[in-house]
């Protein structure tokens, strides 16, 4: 038995290698980019952007716009309109900015207006929608009542953790954090940290006092260390000193160019 297993190992390794290379070729070839037929169906599909293979449900592409250098994970649901083939007017329904990363298995389901700013990152399985069921008539099944549409806006630089849900009528300011599993609805200013279901603000940035409540543990240590390094570099004239405890530190000019978070 051991001899047979030993004899079969090289064959299994060969087959495994062939399967893995074939799957990589399928994924690379099936990826949606600006130059592919699927990419050209979109209202806009920026250079350097891609939707990984295999995608999930995608329809209403003429009313979906994607900026440059945006990465969308596999098994995504990305839709505009109730069903495929509808005429939705001259304006885009779903707009995703440049430099974004949308996690695998996420759902962005638009009917009226969903606007996602630049450099927004999400974890996997995030759900964003601008439509919800109505239940005003107690005699009519909820699924048969006319739904309610309210626009959604997610500000540039924000981060949405895995499994977060963004409901109709939500406006998030710039550089907001939404914790994993949070259910968000309402209007929130810049630099808020939201957690819970329903989500509540658990931390925010104050220009005079910094983060309130203050950062703790490793976050605070890292912020202090980065601020010290940046200040030392500024003394040498290499960069302009910007305290990295500030939420806009990622946008600080470095040697005349704009810094960008690594991918």
How would you class 156 by CB atoms within 10 Å of its CB: exposed for 0-12, middle for 13-18, buried for 19 or more?
buried
What pLDDT sits at residue 258? 40
Which of these is catalytic: 107, 111, 133, 191?
Answer: 133
Domains annotated for the chain, with CATH where assigned, are: 28-205 (2.160.10.10), 215-258 (no CATH)
Rg (CA), the chain: 23
What pLDDT sits at residue 12? 87
**In terms of DSSP bridges, do strands 127-129 and 107-110 run parallel, antiparallel, or are they unpaired?**
parallel
Residues with pLDDT less than 50, the chain: 1, 3, 238-263
- 9 bridge partner residues: none
Return the HEC string of the chain.
CHHHHHHHHHHHHHHHHHHHHHHHHHHHHHCEECCCHHHHCCCEECCCCEECCCCCCEECHHHEEECCCCEECCCCEEEECCCCCCCCCCCCCEEECCCCEECCCCEEEECCCEEECCCCEECCCCEEECEECCCCCCCCCHHHCCCEECCEEECCCCEECCCCEECCCCEECCCCEECCCCEECCEECCCEEEECCCCEEEEEEECCCEEECCCCHHHHHHHHHHHHHHHHHHHCCCCCCCCCCCCCHHHCEECCEECCCCC
What pLDDT sits at residue 252? 38
pTM (two decimals): 0.78
What pLDDT sits at residue 54? 94
What pLDDT sits at residue 254? 35
Contact 50, 38 (CB under 8 A): no
Catalytic site includes residue 133: yes
């Amino acid at each position: 038995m051991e001899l047979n297993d030993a004899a079969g190992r090289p064959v299994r390794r060969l087959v495994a290698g062939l399967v893995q290379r074939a799957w990589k070729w399928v994924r690379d070839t099936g990826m949606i980019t600006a130059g592919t037929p699927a990419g050209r169906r979109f209202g806009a599909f920026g250079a350097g952007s891609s939707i990984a293979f295999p995608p999930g449900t995608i329809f209403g592409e003429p009313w979906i716009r994607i900026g440059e250098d945006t990465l969308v994970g596999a098994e995504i649901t990305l839709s505009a309109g109730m069903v495929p083939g509808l005429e939705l007017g001259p304006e885009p329904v779903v707009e995703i900015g440049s430099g974004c990363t949308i996690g695998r298995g996420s759902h962005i389901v638009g009917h009226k207006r969903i606007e996602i700013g630049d450099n927004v990152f999400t974890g996997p399985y995030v759900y964003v929608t601008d439509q919800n069921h109505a239940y005003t008539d107690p005699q009519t099944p909820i699924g048969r009542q006319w739904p309610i549409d309210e626009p959604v806006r997610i500000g540039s630089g924000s981060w949405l953790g895995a499994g977060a849900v963004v409901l109709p009528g939500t406006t998030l300011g710039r550089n907001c954090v939404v914790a994993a599993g949070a259910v968000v609805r309402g209007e929130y200013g810049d630099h808020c940290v939201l957690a819970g279901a329903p989500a509540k603000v658990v931390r925010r940035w104050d220009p005079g006092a910094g983060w309130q409540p203050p950062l703790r543990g490793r976050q605070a240590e890292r912020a202090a260390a980065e601020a010290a390094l940046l200040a030392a570099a500024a003394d040498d004239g290499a960069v302009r000193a910007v305290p990295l405890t500030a939420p806009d530190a990622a946008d600080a000019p470095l040697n005349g160019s704009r810094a960008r978070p690594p991918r």
